[in-house]
Each structure stands twice: as C-alpha cells, then as structure tokens.
Chains A and B, each alone.
Chain A
Amino acid sequence: MLFVKIRKQFPGNGLVPFVLDIDAAFPAGFTVLFGPSGAGKSTLLDCIAGLQQPDSGQIRLADETLFDFSQGISTPPQHRELAYVFQSLALFPHLSVEQNIRYGIARLAVAEQKKRVETIAAAFHIRNLLQRRPRELSGGEKQRVALARALVTRPRVLLLDEPLTGLDGSLRRSILDDLRAWNIANAIPILYVTHNREEVDAIGEHVLTLAGGHVQETGIPHAVLEAPRRVQLAQAAGFENVLRAVVVDERPVDGIMRVALENTACELEIPLGDAQSGSEVQIAIRAGDILLATEAPHFLSARNLIPGTIVSIETRGVLVIVRVKAGPTFTVHVTPGAARSLDLAPGLLVWLVIKTHSCHLVR
C-alpha cells in the first residue's frame, strides 16, 4: 500500500498559483488517475518517484517513509525502487532493446540478468526485438519495451504516465492484459495516469479523479459494476471482491465499524471510514487477502470469521480461484498446494478469515 499526503505549490501561469494537494492511498492493483491536462497527474507521479520535491507532507510505502518534509526525509529516486514509464517512454536511443532492459539490473550477476530479461521479454512478447534499436520499433513495441525495462527491476510500485496513448483499442487491451497477468504474481500498486475516458473503461478498476490539483472522487466506476464483461477485467487484478453493504454501527473508540453485506445477515468489521450508520457503501477485498480454514479457527487476531460453502474451484496456472457462498459470494485466491492439502472441493464447509484492514471502504 502506497500512502501519499503531499502539497506542492507552483507559480502557475495566471494570477492564482497552482496547488497540488493530494491525500490518497494506493493498494496493490490498478488505480487510474483520471483528469484533464494540467490537473497535476504527472506532477503527482514525479513527486512519488522523487523527481520533484513536494513543499510538505509525506509519502510512505508500507512501513517505509520515502518522503517526510517535517523529518527532512527524501529518498533519492535511484533508491526508491519504483518504476516509472513516462509518456515519452524515454528509451535510451543508443542502446539495444536488450541493453535498455538490462540497464536497471546491471549490478546483478550476468546469469541472473539473462534470466530476468528472458522472463520479462516472454511476458511482454518482445523476445524477437531484443537486438533492435528503439528507433527501429513501432509505437506499441516501444511501449512494451518500456514496460519490460521498468518491471525487470522488480519495483515496489509502478507509475504509468499515459503510457498507452496513441495506441488503438485492441493493441492497448493486449498490453494491459500482459501487465495484469504480470501483476497477479507481483501484486504491486500500479498508478495509471490518463486523461482518456476510454482507457478508464478499459482498465475499469479503482479510479481517482483529479482536477485543479485536488482529488475529486475515488471509487470504482459504476460502469464496471454494472457490466459483467468489465467486472471480469476488474477481477484479473486488484479488488476481486466488491460488495454492496450497509453500515450497521460505528465504534470510533475501537477505530472500526460494522457493515451488513448485500442485505444478508453476513456482517464484516471494517476500519472506521467516512460513512454514517445506515448509509450504503461498497467494500472492496482482494481475493488474495482472504484466508480459508476448514475448521472454525480460534485464537486469531483477524476479526472476521465467516462460515460459507465452496461453490466452485477453478485452477489457472499457479492460482486457484475458489468461490465461496457466505451470504454474498466471495472470490478467494489460494495456491494449488493449499487447495490440495485442505482437500478443497465444491460443497465443502469453510471459514473465511478476513483482517479488518483488508476490507476497504469505497464509494
């Protein structure tokens, strides 16, 4: 999880200075930063990457502070272990595709470099381009190379500044599919900047809209929730479980609140959020954040234990997707090994174990 709370002021070109003022958290999976040109999207990414310094605030990645104005902390960009694909892509023109990809991993042993290049080139379908120069590539090929060069370093966050602008829909979709497939195994936050509404729909996950340097709205586009085709896209990475719920009560002392899911008796304890009792909210839970138990577990710190029945099991490569009916139906990701040792099968009674902080309140 990436936490950003920053403020940066620019002289601006009019009488009023432009102020970027952001307070947002970015979970693993895609977050689309959507807004018109000049909304501060690229500046936000530059600040996260360390290429520009905010005037105040903090940037944290999990427990690590990357930037803290009051403590005088600012990790230089080369030590942040993030990846950033610019709109211009910025491939090194004097290096071949392979040398571009190896650029950020030159400190590793040569054998390891080769292995990583091979893996990432396969994942992004550029193995036949490795000996070419950037000027010999098409637009879509360049974009694949830029993504490969960024991801081969195994970054902790991926920042994308309109990386797929100018591509036609099907080419864009195929690159996004490769990126999603990559992120199933890596599960890092991906911040995707665009001013193109079409791209928001194509990614169709968590969206944060920016205008005039401020966050306007966050949430999951309604279109995504209503159109099953897009829900499938959304499920490929990011929040696989998006559930409608009603707030039952708030307990500010404990920092939590309880919600009832989709008008059933099934209740969840979630972190206290900006919602009042009785209001309708949506809860997002990553399939990888839910544990399965075949007996009622005891002595756990996780606050949500929900009994349910396995509806279906589907194996996709190294991922087993289990659907559990417990009031609403939850999607849970487990490894093939876990599925075998628990003898998971349709009809089996299981308990879902969900930490309070794995439940995200979205609007």
Chain B
Amino acid sequence: MNAEALLLSLRLATTVALLLVALALPLAYVISFFEWRGKFLVESAVALPLVLPPTVLGFYALTAMGPRGPVGKLWQLLFGHPLAFTFAGLVLASLVYSLPFAVQPLVASFEALDRRLLDASAVLGVGRTSTFRRVILPLAWPGVLTALILSFAHTLGEFGVVLMVGGNLPGATRTISIDIYDRVQSLDYDGAQQTALLLLLVSFVVLSVVYGVNRRAWSPWPAK
C-alpha cells in the first residue's frame, strides 16, 4: 500500500473540506435567505459538478489553470510558478468539484430553520452577522458537519478531475485513487485490493457518522 499517496489524499481532502465549508457558508446563506430573479441560475451552477463528468470539469480546470489560461496566468503572476500539476491546482479544482456537497447540506439545514427565530433575533436588536453566529450556526451545526464530512469524503475519492489537472506526480498530485488505477494497470491486484478496501472502509465510516449525527440534514433517502 502506498502511504505517501494516502497521506496526500488525506491532506487534500482536509484542506478542501475546510476551505469549502468556509466558502459555502456565505453562499448557502444567500441562497437560503434571499430571493432574487436569477437565483435559479446560481443554484444550477452550484449543482453542476453533480452531473458533469469529472473529465469535462477536469478539462476546463486544466485549460483555465494552464500557463495560457486566465487562472494559470494570474497564479504565475502572483506566486512565480505554474499552477497546473501542483497540489494547489488540485485543491482549486477540487473546490469546484465538491462544491455542491458542501452547499446543499448547508442550504437544507438553513431552510429547515424556523424563520420566526431570525425575525425574533432582528426585533431584539441583533444584526444579520450576529444572528448568523448566535442563532443560525448553533442550530444548523449538523448541516455544517455534514457539509464538512461529505466534501471530505467526496474529495478523498475523486479521480477524473485529479488525473486531468494533477497528473501523476508522487508526493504532489498522486492521490490514492490514482495509485489504485496505477496498480491495476501494472497488474498489482493485491496492492490495489488493499488500498481499495481501505478507501471503502473510510468512506463507510464517514457516511455512518454523517447519518448517525443527523438523519434529516442531507440524506439521499426519504425522511421517515
């Protein structure tokens, strides 16, 4: 089993999950509590990675991050080295790829809140930011936890996007799923077996935690 690849995957998934929840909180807030004309467009854009083949997403990410792509150029200007085929590039692409897995549980838990609690907070003289911190977050924390864990698990298992924008550089972009693919290609079925089993167990434990904590927050199964 490739420990380096496993550690890299864990590092990527943790970084992405933390960054993504921080990004998704304001996004989910705006989607849940504001109504405007083009809202459905934003919702569709957020959900796009759910249906888009990872290779398509990876292809666009690669073009954008390449030395002639807008993101790649900006990165080169700011940090002095290219973005494609680096860990940072993987993080950036994974943020887009796992976005719906962070935003949707948050939106679901925000929309389940009793609006009158927010009204009560406002009438008691408390502004929007404080209301978010003092009422919304404490009551929606199962949604936050779900968002964190789902984006972690989803990033841990990603393959297509990583292959497109990351390539296969040991220690930098060679994640655990790439490792499994490599082993199968080189007919190392025992090695692939071990790694795959580990990934299966991690995923199952993670999802059990999510559903154990809150059945209603975000589940593909109908509520009882």
Residues of chain A having any CB pair with chain B under 8 Å: 49-51, 76-84, 86, 88, 90, 92-94, 103-104, 106, 149-150, 153
Contact = CB atoms under 8 A, between A and B. Distances in A.
A94 B139 contact: yes
Nearest to B139: A94
A159 to B, nearest CB: 8
B117 A90 contact: yes
A90 B119 CA distance: 9
Given A86-B116, A103-B134, A51 B122 contact: yes
A237 to B, nearest CB: 22
A78 to B, nearest CB: 5
Given A78-B126, A84-B123, A92-B117, 16 more contacts: A49-B123, A50-B122, A51-B123, A76-B122, A77-B122, A78-B122, A78-B124, A82-B123, A86-B116, A88-B116, A90-B117, A92-B135, A93-B139, A103-B134, A106-B126, A153-B125
Contacts of B116: 86, 88, 90
A103 B126 contact: yes
Contacts of A51: 119, 122-123
Contacts of A77: 119, 122-123
Contacts of A78: 122-127
Interface string B65-81: 00000000000000000
Interface in B89-125: 114, 116-117, 119-125
8 contacts: A78-B125, A82-B123, A83-B123, A86-B120, A88-B114, A90-B119, A92-B117, A92-B120
A331 to B, nearest CB: 34
A84 B125 contact: no
Contacts of B139: 93-94
A81 B125 contact: yes
A51 B124 CA distance: 12
Contacts of B135: 92
DSSP class of A's interface residues: helix, strand, loop or mixed?
loop
B122 to A, nearest CB: 4
Interface string B123-158: 111110000001100110000000000000000000
A94 B125 CA distance: 19
A329 B117 CA distance: 48
Interface residues of B, number: 16
The 5 tightest CB contacts between A and B, nearest first, are A104-B124, A90-B120, A77-B122, A90-B116, A84-B123
Contacts of A106: 126
A78 B126 CA distance: 6
A203 to B, nearest CB: 22
Nearest to B118: A90
Contacts of B125: 78-79, 81, 104, 153
Contacts of A81: 125
Nearest to A79: B125
B111 to A, nearest CB: 17
A88 B120 CA distance: 10
Contact of B124 (A76, A93, A94, A103): A103
A94 B142 CA distance: 13
A70 to B, nearest CB: 25
A80 B117 CA distance: 17
Nearest to B131: A78
Contacts of B117: 90, 92
Nearest to B138: A94
Contacts of A103: 121, 124, 126, 134
Nearest to B116: A90
A149 B120 CA distance: 10
A76 B120 CA distance: 13
A353 B123 CA distance: 38
Nearest to A82: B123
Contacts of A84: 119-120, 123
B213 to A, nearest CB: 16
A150 B122 CA distance: 12
B129 to A, nearest CB: 11
A94 B138 CA distance: 7
A104 B116 CA distance: 15
B114 A104 contact: no
Nearest to A149: B124
A92 B126 CA distance: 13
A311 to B, nearest CB: 44
